[in-house]
Structure 1
Amino acid sequence: MDLIIKNGTIVTPLESYVADLAVKGGKIVAIGTGFSEEGASVVDAKGKLILPGAIDAHTHLAMPFGGTVSADSYLAGTRAAACGGVTTVFDYPMQRKGNGIIETIETRKEMCDPEACVDYAFHCIITDLNEGTILDEFEDAVEYGVPSFKCFLVYKKEGMMVDDATLVKILLKAKETGAMTNIHAENPDLIDLNIENFLKEGKTSAWYHYLSRPEFVEAEADKRAVHLAKSIGAPLYLVHMADKEGLETAIEAKREGHDIYVETCPQYLEFTCDVYKREDGRNFVCSPPMKGQESQDALWKAIKSGDIDTVATDHCPFQSYEKDWGKDDFTKIPNGCAGVENLYPYMLSAANEGKITFNRAVELCSFNPAKIFGCTEKGSLTVGKDADIVIYDPNKDFTISVENMHSDYDHTIWEGKTLHGYPVQTYVRGNLVYDNGEFVGKAGFGQFVKRVGRK
């Protein structure tokens, strides 16, 4: 054996039990007791939980947006991921007019390969069908190991939006090829109308970012996307769900037997739109914005009931001086917040406080994203799977500060948040990458995760 973790409580989506876990060649090779420790590194996890590494299925690393680039490179973002117990990140390379899917993926892969500290996968954003040639690439992309695509129903002026006809073409082709379509659902025309009116009235603070895209603006697009996917029988994954009405529509479709999946993010579970009234409200600007208390309550209810499938982060931080560009005009604030290092600790703290079970936290952050997105070697502590392992101390309190995070940003919306329980070690394919507050991995260790389609 290369590694034995003993005396800890192993947590799966269905059960928790005390056992030892043995690793060889980067894989979990046995779970039980009485393993020979000869030649192995031995870790005593008594009193601690042994968890599968988290999968953050939604990050934007080194992403050009709003006149700048998100603050975390692939190195910084995946380093932070490791230190938060995230062992696989999904990034979103963006296909543009004139460029192909494989070309787009490989360009980003060349950036990621030398920097990634944990394993990584891609969803490809589709912005233009290039007179239909992009649809012809779907099958090749699935074979390549990228069986998921994203569409923006917003950002029309930025050239990122797809119209409804294009969306239906993508949904149908994804269905045919065994791919999943991810949707950012907001209504751009309503947002632009609201922005125009607010600017005319001199209403320019961060509060009007929220009021320009309130609950019904997201809900309309959620409902439209769900309606189209239901009508043609195509699978659909709704990213960063933040509003009650759209959530309820998705839940209804799921219960009717449609292939609909819902993701939300920790920021929507922790903060409400009231943050935009704060003096530093611009730091919380992301899209969709945090919503009202009623929506947050609905999200937590769906987390507990199993109607939300995954929790991811939409990690896309910017520096404070860049956020300050919009101090007097909310439309100039780069949209995005930090989160990849906070995902697992936040959800595990919720479990430690009794809001959900640890089993549910593992399901939301590891098992379900692996299952939905075809990560066959990830997502559970099972013999034969990659040894992506987190050791978690439920008795260790931790207060988040930009000073103890491992990203390249200079502020965090999570500043001062105290979590009850915290990861103390992270292993990627059996290799220690995080140890009691310190990153101990290396750039370039992370590997591309070739995923399987849904057929």
Structure 2
Amino acid sequence: MLDLVIKNGTIVTAYETYKGDIGIKDGKIEVIASNISCCENIIIIDASGKLILPGALDVHTHLQMPFGGTVSADSYEGGTRAAACGGVTTVFDFAIQKKGKGIIETAEERKSLCEPQACVDYAFHVAITDLTDEVLDEFERAVEYGVPSFKLFMVYKKEGLMVSDGVLCKALERSKEVGSMISVHAENPDVIDERINKFLREGKKSAWYHYESRPEFVEAEADKRAIHWAKAINAPLYIVHLANKEGVEEVKRAQDEGYKIYAETCPQYLHFTNEVYKREDGRNFVCSPPIKGEESQEALWKGIDLGVISTVATDHCPFQAYEKDWGKDDFTKIPNGCMGIENMYPYLLSEANKGRLSFNKVVALCSTNPAKIFGCSSKGNIACGYDADLVIYDPEINFIVTNEKMHSDVDHTIWEGVKLNGYPIMTLLRGNVVFKDGEFLGNPGMGQFIKRDRLN
């Protein structure tokens, strides 16, 4: 017997849109039909006039992360609670390897923090900073363990996170052999450092100069360099938080040539432009790569339309307002990162509701594509046998984002005052209602670790 039935809604997947009922049993989608008959003991959710979507996967978050002299403001509990309230049912967090540590050891340490707090399901990418021969050998065991994706930073030299091009190439070669994926944060560190030093000497210290220190061409050069190495080795590559026009063009060129190059962008790059850095609160928008100009924003939307950009994720790494204020008079002291884990799906669905893209495309970008790319075989679709991670969306609601309505640990939001057409009214995690009508109903610890599949 079924546990729960969602009736009378319009089901939206990456591929089709149709009326139907969804029957759920033991946390899985058991049946989809035009009309499911229900016994007395079955819970019924009426979704008349609503859309039913698969839960989103935010495959780029930094929760409870030490960085910039502090720790990102959202704990695992706060960040995953906010995720649930924004229709995100799986988060991918970055576990940062410390010198001398192994990949699985690094993931296990983060898992011990996340497990008792997680309000939604979770997975990890391990950010590799110390690629020894032992770590290279461990790639295959990490894939078997269920963490088949690794991030390498092409920046943050002073922070001890950056790797050289030689290390990147070694990782790409090994990744190709074992069925894992390398992702990169692509910017040129030497150019950034030179520009920062120049602006500081000239007394140019406002938030605007965070953008000026790492403008479009600084990111584009590193995108091209990473893609060059991936093509030379014929290894798959995933570029995180792509934000510039030239980078979009280079990704398209590589894809047209038949290479497995994936690009992710973020909602802040789609909605805001670099003009935010001229605002009095510009420091709150400081993230890396920075938000770019209008030409790049238009290229990102075009990249989505053409399928060049495969995913949208948040790079959720917020800091409290007083921490952002450390750089009020010196942009180099601003902790880098913005919030978005609760805003990504509602924002893109609102854009679909306005006609900018289809609802199917939003599902592809935020759910189906990330699940496929990163090996989550039970996530990202509404079909029998999949996890019952579902979002019920009311296209008729008008919603204005305010921090008071958000559910994270952060004391402000860059999305303050943004008007959305339509909004999620319910989120189900494996058949459990965790968010309803603005209220979080889940519990810390109910999220499960997702053991992912080999990627190629």
Q: TM-score range by the shorter chain?
A: over 0.9
Instruction: Give 2:276's aligned residue.
Output: 275
Instruction: Give 2:48's aligned residue.
Output: 46
Instruction: Write the deviation string for residues 395-430 of structure 1: whole angstroms up to 9, x where unpaired.
Output: 011110110000001111000001000000000000
Instruction: Give 1:191's aligned residue.
Output: 192
Instruction: Write the deviation string for residues 365-403 of structure 1: whole angstroms up to 9, x where unpaired.
Output: 000000000000000001000000000000011110110
Instruction: Give 2:93's aligned residue.
Output: 91
Instruction: Give 2:60's aligned residue.
Output: 58
TM-score (norm 2): 0.99
What is the CA–CA distance in structure 2 between the aligned matches of 1:97 and 1:194, rounded to whole Å? 29
- For 2:120, which of 115, 118, 121 is the aligned residue? 118
> Partner amino acid for 1:72?
D
Instruction: Give 1:24's aligned residue.
Output: 25
After TM superposition, give the deviation of residue 246 of structure 1 in Å: 1.1
After TM superposition, give the deviation of residue 37 of structure 1 in Å: 1.5
Instruction: Give 1:208's aligned residue.
Output: 209
SS at match of 1:20: strand
- For 1:105, which of 96, 104, 107 is the aligned residue? 107
Instruction: Give 1:440's aligned residue.
Output: 441
What is the CA–CA distance in structure 2 between the aligned matches of 1:275 and 1:450, rounded to whole Å? 39
SS at match of 1:133: helix
After TM superposition, give the deviation of residue 255 of structure 1 in Å: 1.1
Deviates more, 1:214-223 or 1:27-36: 27-36
Instruction: Give 1:389's aligned residue.
Output: 390
What is the CA–CA distance in structure 2 between the aligned matches of 1:146 and 1:31, rounded to whole Å? 32
What is the CA–CA distance in structure 2 between the aligned matches of 1:116 and 1:50, rounded to whole Å? 24
> Partner amino acid for 2:369?
N
What is the CA–CA distance in structure 2 between the aligned matches of 1:369 and 1:359, rounded to whole Å? 14
1:151 aligns with 2:134: no
What is the percentage of aligned positions where both structures have the same residue?
A: 67
Count of matched residue positions in the alignment of Structure 1 and Structure 2: 454
What is the CA–CA distance in structure 2 between the aligned matches of 1:287 and 1:340, rounded to whole Å? 17
> Partner amino acid for 2:65?
M
SS at match of 2:304: helix
TM-score (norm 1): 0.99
Contact 2:19 2:34 in 1 (8 A): no
Instruction: Give 2:337's aligned residue.
Output: 336
SS at match of 2:96: coil
What is the CA–CA distance in structure 2 between the aligned matches of 1:392 and 1:68, rounded to whole Å? 36
> Partner amino acid for 1:198?
F
What is the CA–CA distance in structure 1 between the aligned matches of 2:159 and 2:93, rounded to whole Å? 20
Instruction: Give 1:264's aligned residue.
Output: 265
Instruction: Give 1:217's aligned residue.
Output: 218
Contact 2:186 2:226 in 1 (8 A): yes
What is the CA–CA distance in structure 2 between the aligned matches of 1:119 and 1:454, rounded to whole Å? 19
Within 5 A, what are the aligned runs for 1:265-414? 265-414=266-415
After TM superposition, give the deviation of residue 36 of structure 1 in Å: 3.0
> Partner amino acid for 1:57?
V
> Partner amino acid for 1:435?
K
Instruction: Write the deviation string for residues 247-278 of structure 1: whole angstroms up to 9, x where unpaired.
Output: 10011101111000010000000111111011
What is the CA–CA distance in structure 1 between the aligned matches of 2:181 and 2:100, rounded to whole Å? 23
Instruction: Write the deviation string for residues 189-237 of structure 1: whole angstroms up to 9, x where unpaired.
Output: 0000000111011000000000000000000000000000001000000
> Partner amino acid for 1:48?
K
What is the CA–CA distance in structure 1 between the aligned matches of 2:35 and 2:437, rounded to whole Å? 27
Displacement over 2 Å in runs of 4+:
33-36
What is the CA–CA distance in structure 2 between the aligned matches of 1:359 and 1:376, rounded to whole Å? 19
Instruction: Write the deviation string for residues 290-327 of structure 1: whole angstroms up to 9, x where unpaired.
Output: 00110000001111121110000000000000000000
Give unpaired runs (5+ residues) of structure 1.
none
Instruction: Write the deviation string for residues 341-363 of structure 1: whole angstroms up to 9, x where unpaired.
Output: 00100010010000000000000
Contact 2:94 2:124 in 1 (8 A): yes
RMSD: 0.6
What is the CA–CA distance in structure 2 between the aligned matches of 1:200 and 1:454, rounded to whole Å? 47
What is the CA–CA distance in structure 1 between the aligned matches of 2:100 and 2:16, rounded to whole Å? 49
Contact 2:74 2:410 in 1 (8 A): yes
Instruction: Give 2:73's aligned residue.
Output: 71
What is the CA–CA distance in structure 1 between the aligned matches of 2:203 and 2:262, rounded to whole Å? 39
Deviates more, 1:336-345 or 1:32-41: 32-41
SS at match of 1:93: strand
Instruction: Give 2:130's aligned residue.
Output: 128
Instruction: Write the deviation string for residues 22-69 of structure 1: whole angstroms up to 9, x where unpaired.
Output: 000000000003323112110110100000000000000000000000
SS at match of 1:149: strand
Contact 2:238 2:263 in 1 (8 A): yes
What is the CA–CA distance in structure 1 between the aligned matches of 2:210 and 2:159, rounded to whole Å? 17
What is the CA–CA distance in structure 2 between the aligned matches of 1:372 and 1:295, rounded to whole Å? 25
> Partner amino acid for 2:285?
F
Contact 2:20 2:35 in 1 (8 A): no
> Partner amino acid for 1:110?
S
